[in-house]
Structure 1
Amino acid sequence: MNDRMDLYIDDLAEDQGVLFTKAVEQGFDLCSFANMYLRSSPRDFMDKCYPYWMTLIPSILIDKLPLSEVQKTAEWQDTWEAEWFGEFYAWYQYLTNIPSVQIAESVSPEFLHAHYNVLHDLDIKLAVKKLAEFRGVSI
């Protein structure tokens, strides 16, 4: 784990949850948004603990993302799930120290969505630990 990230992780996880919620509220497909976000340069900067990117509020950050790559959806989506996704991915990256782009491949948003009903009932750090262990990643 990166010592500099220790200073930001609680706020980052919460803000990332808000960011995912805002995206869903704007009609973006949750899985499509998550895939784009985890592969984005802003998220890469966060993985590398650049303080500027770690402290951006969601309403500013969403304007810096390539949203043209994200599918829209007409279906209602659960904002609670969106918030949980954002927080989960922040904690997963922090606790495993795996780059977000690799996380998008190993724990895809589609996989996370399929297992959301089981995982979201756990404490978020325990959910990360269980899924990491299942994937063969030690924390």
Structure 2
Amino acid sequence: MITVVYRNKRPEFTAWLQEVKQIHLQVIPQNDKYYSLDNYYRNKMEKEIKRGFKKVAPTERIVFNDEEQKRQEMMRMREKQKEEVEALKRSMQSGLAQAMKEQAQLREEMAYQYKIGNMEAAAAIQRRLNPDAAV
């Protein structure tokens, strides 16, 4: 039973030994103890939660699912781009709405100038409203 567990955990153990402890497997004596990394991190997180930490960020990457992380990153980027486009649309619409209000005010002013007989001012406003058309 112990040899089956040892064979299953050997790659994880050697990686942990080299990366965390900076010890090569060949230099350690055969009677050293080995603990499961899963249990180690679970116990570490439980201890920190008991101390009062609500959310514990792991110090090492535990899950190696690159495709899922890339997919989530792409989704975040798309959401950010959508927000930027929506903000740009809102700013353009507000600018367009402001321009339409100004045009409506100029038309009212032009109609007023026509009513009082000030044709020169009305023609100037007309040129301002429609610069391409000939008066």
What's the TM-score bracket when you normalise by the shorter of the two chains? under 0.3
TM-score, normalised relative to structure 1: 0.21
For normalisation by structure 2, the TM-score amounts to 0.22
Greater relative contact order structure (CA < 8 Å, 6+ sep): 1
Bigger radius of gyration, 1 or 2? 2
